[in-house]
Chain A
Amino acid sequence: MSALRLISNRTSQQALSNSDYTWEYEYYEYGPVSFEGLKAHKYSIVIGFWVGLAVFVIFMFFVLTLLTKTGAPHQDNAEPSEKRCRMNSFVADFGRPLDSERVFSRQIAEESRSLFHFCINEVEHLDKAKQNHRSPGLESNIHFEEVPRSSGMFEEDLNCLTKFNIPNCVNTEQNSSLGEDDLLISEPPIILETKSVMQSSCRILD
């Protein structure tokens, strides 16, 4: 900026070697700056600015980490039989009137079924296109891992979901290494066709 270069011209004695200060404008004059009687260190603005910026960035990082914290502890060592027991009890629970969890889980199950169907359809369409970059870098999608029913079909669907990039299925892929890189979507969403699917997915996302 021309004005800024003029300031540099006035304060710099290195006129020739790195003369970025060559433009001079008569309508913009700065007087010389006196450095007498400084109370604080002369680079205090520089130091203060950079320290403030660093503090702000670190603070922002901690806030974001808190926001992405999901809360419950690890369930790393769940045995398969244990899982099956849990699934059976879940199915059994359907008969009993329960709290909102059950209602919600049923809703999720219904939605998951329709989502799975839609996902499977989309998966077939995407098969060829995605072969090139079907990497564990599903880094660009948010996925929802739906609750599997006790039927094998759904486990298959789940596997399909984990393998393919389907940005419109919101899926928290816990076992993958991508973590919350998921939010940073760089794959294009898929054109959907079924209206019922739209409704169910809208319910999930809104």
Chain B
Amino acid sequence: KNISDFSLNVTDCTQVVVPEEVFFTVAAAGILENLLVLIAVVRNKNLHLPMYFFICSLAISDMLGSLYKTLENIFIILCKMGYLTRRGDFEKKLDDAMDSMFILSLLGSIFSLLAIAADRYITIFYALRYHNIMTLRRALAILAIIWTFCAGSSIAIALFSYEAATVIPFTILFPLMMFFILCLYIHMFLLARSHAKKIASLPTSTVHQRTNMKGAITLTIFLGVFLCCWAPFVLHILLARFCPHNPYCACYMSIFHVNGTLIMCNAIIDPMIFAFRSPELRCTFKKMFCCSR
């Protein structure tokens, strides 16, 4: 069954299909969860802080990613049912708009993660000056700049997505940002370690030393989840641009829908590892649900 046909129209790597129900469930869960985070931050005055605004920004970009997938599936269903034509101008523009929404989601996620890491970095290394460095207005300004840049880039990339000049910077940006975020967190870890060592070296210290696994585990989860969810798609774009006729590349590209589902799973996991770790936010959720009953 794996012998390739003589007919050139048949390939061995058929598309791996994800059922539409799974798609819609995962997308809906992602959208709901992130919406809850946004509502909680808006409603609770205590959460009007730069840190939570960055978490909201991450929630918005995750929502955009899930929304994209949902809309795409809806349009495909409409197409199947005949309400939309396949070659119309309107559909083409809609398709471009949706592509740019997706790229916006990816770029927004990356920059939000970067902003969260930088905010934590400043909290640790410039703790006493934090409130002067990271005022609310500055945080909002930073978010505005980030989203304007992401919107501009996503429109440009969607319009010129077939040029190598857009694909390459896009795929270079991704590992570069991950590396930068990793460096920030590693520096924070090193500081924690050096402080712990200094305290432990004091003769009367009652401090117990151990390997603090929790921080390493948490950070690995942060970055591991982001990598595992987005990297497959980024690789897909690279391969689609540079080796579409290669059979190996074609087989990789056949799992495109699995990659899309992974991106939506990222939208579900991100609030759990960022937003829900905050006790204040969890309290707000409880209040919201208790009041609605």
Q: Are the CB atoms of A3 and B240 closer together than 8 Å? A: yes
A74 and B195 in contact, given A42-B12, A46-B251, A167-B123 (Cβ under 8 angstroms): no
Q: Are the CB atoms of B209 and A74 closer together than 8 Å? A: yes
Q: What is the interface of chain B mostly: helix, strand, loop, or mixed? A: helix
Q: Are the CB atoms of A44 and B248 closer together than 8 Å? A: yes
Is B10 at the interface (CB under 8 A from chain A)?
yes
Is A75 at the interface (CB under 8 A from chain B)?
yes
Q: How far is the CB of B232 from chain A (nearest CB, A)?
A: 7
Tell me the chain B residues, 202-246 only, with Cβ under 8 Å from chain A.
202-220, 223-224, 227-228, 231-232, 235-237, 239-240, 244-246
A185 and B227 in contact, given A78-B206, A140-B277, A180-B192 (Cβ under 8 angstroms): no
Quick one: which of A3, A42, A68, A168 contacts B13, CB cutoff 8 A? A42
A205 and B127 in contact, given A68-B216, A182-B215, A184-B120 (Cβ under 8 angstroms): yes
B contact residues around A142 at 8 Å (CB): 124, 192, 195
B-side interface size class: 35 or more
Q: Are the CB atoms of B193 and A90 closer together than 8 Å? A: no
Q: Are the CB atoms of A185 and B124 closer together than 8 Å? A: yes
Q: Are the CB atoms of B203 and A86 closer together than 8 Å? A: yes
Quick one: which of B11, B73, B125, B232 contacts A49, CB cutoff 8 A? B232
A-side interface size class: 35 or more
Quick one: which of A21, A44, A67 contacts B216, CB cutoff 8 A? A67
Q: How far is the CB of B184 from chain A (nearest CB, A)?
A: 11
Q: Are the CB atoms of B255 and A46 closer together than 8 Å? A: yes
Chain B residue nearest in CB terms to A67: B189
Q: Are the CB atoms of A22 and B192 closer together than 8 Å? A: no
Distance in angstroms between the alpha carbons of A178 and B218 in the assembled complex: 11
Q: How far is the CB of B291 from chain A (nearest CB, A)?
A: 15
Tell me the chain A residues, 147-189 only, with Cβ under 8 Å from chain B.
147-148, 167-168, 170, 172, 174-175, 178-189
Q: Are the CB atoms of B247 and A42 closer together than 8 Å? A: yes
Chain A residue nearest in CB terms to B225: A57
Tell me the chain A residues, 48-78 only, with Cβ under 8 Å from chain B.
49, 53, 56-57, 60-61, 63-65, 67-76, 78
Tell me the chain A residues, 187-206 only, with Cβ under 8 Å from chain B.
187-189, 191-192, 197-198, 201-202, 204-206
B contact residues around A43 at 8 Å (CB): 13, 251-252
Q: How far is the CB of A159 from chain B (nearest CB, A)?
A: 13
Q: How far is the CB of A72 from chain B (nearest CB, A)?
A: 4
Q: Mark A7-39, 1 if CB is under 8 A from B, else 0.
A: 110011110111111111100101111111010
Q: Are the CB atoms of B200 and A71 closer together than 8 Å? A: yes
A contact residues around B172 at 8 Å (CB): none
Chain A residue nearest in CB terms to B3: A35
Q: Are the CB atoms of B120 and A183 closer together than 8 Å? A: yes
Q: Are the CB atoms of B15 and A12 closer together than 8 Å? A: yes
Is B80 at the interface (CB under 8 A from chain A)?
yes
Distance in angstroms between the alpha carbons of A206 and B185 in the assembled complex: 16
Q: Are the CB atoms of A64 and B216 closer together than 8 Å? A: yes
B contact residues around A105 at 8 Å (CB): 202-203
Is B190 at the interface (CB under 8 A from chain A)?
yes
Quick one: which of B46, B208, B224, B244 contacts A57, CB cutoff 8 A? B224
Q: How far is the CB of A103 from chain B (nearest CB, A)?
A: 12
Q: What is the interface of chain A mostly: helix, strand, loop, or mixed? A: loop
Q: Are the CB atoms of B213 and A180 closer together than 8 Å? A: yes
A contact residues around B192 at 8 Å (CB): 68, 142, 172, 180, 182-183
Is B62 at the interface (CB under 8 A from chain A)?
no
Interface residues of B (CB under 8 A from A): 2, 4, 8-15, 17, 20, 46, 49, 51, 72-73, 76, 79-80, 86-87, 91-92, 95-96, 99, 102, 120, 123-128, 130-131, 161-162, 182, 185-186, 188-193, 195-220, 223-224, 227-228, 231-232, 235-237, 239-240, 244-257, 277-283
Interface residues of A (CB under 8 A from B): 1-4, 7-8, 11-14, 16-25, 28, 30-36, 38, 40, 42-46, 49, 53, 56-57, 60-61, 63-65, 67-76, 78, 83, 86-87, 89-90, 93, 101, 104-105, 108, 129, 132-133, 135, 137, 139-140, 142, 144-148, 167-168, 170, 172, 174-175, 178-189, 191-192, 197-198, 201-202, 204-206
Q: A14-B15, A179-B214, A181-B214 are in contact. List 20 more A-B contacts (CB 8 A).
A: A3-B240, A18-B20, A32-B8, A36-B4, A45-B239, A57-B223, A65-B213, A67-B193, A70-B212, A135-B279, A167-B123, A172-B192, A172-B196, A172-B207, A179-B212, A180-B192, A186-B280, A189-B130, A189-B131, A205-B126
- 9 inter-chain pairs at a CB distance below 8 angstroms, sorted by A residue, are A7-B250, A13-B14, A35-B13, A57-B224, A64-B189, A67-B190, A75-B207, A188-B51, A202-B128
